[in-house]
Amino acid sequence: DNIDNNYENICYNFIKYYNNLWDTNFPLIGNLFSNNIKITFLNNRYSSIIPLIVYLKNNNIWYFNHSSVSSNSQPLDNDTILI
């Protein structure tokens, strides 16, 4: 079964899992990122996880609480999803 038939469910479950990591294991989340990330947080763009973690700690942000999952996704080929 390729992802074309199930990509929305795959995407939803991935984001739910990923958000749970931010909510429950934030101090260790940096291990999941490569050196070439692109994250936008409060309209600031980060290309590395370390400056983001420094920003969060300097602003006393110690945890997250994701309460909903929403996304846009589309299959790119038989084994790749754009989220």
Question: DSSP labels for 26-73?
Answer: GGGGGGG--TT--EEETTEEESSHHHHHHHHHHTT-------------
Predicted pLDDT of residue 21: 83
* Mean local confidence (pLDDT), 51-77: 83
Contacts of 51 (CB under 8 A, 6+ apart): none
Predicted pLDDT of residue 34: 67
Predicted pLDDT of residue 59: 92
Q: To the nearest whole percent, how much of the chain has pLDDT over 90?
A: 4
Handedness of CA 24, 28, 19, 60 (dihedral sign): positive
Q: Which two tokens stand for residue 52?
A: 């983001």
81/48 Cα distance (integer angstroms): 23
Predicted pLDDT of residue 75: 80
- What confidence tens digit (pLDDT) does each residue in 17-41 have? 888 888 887 767 767 776 677 788 8
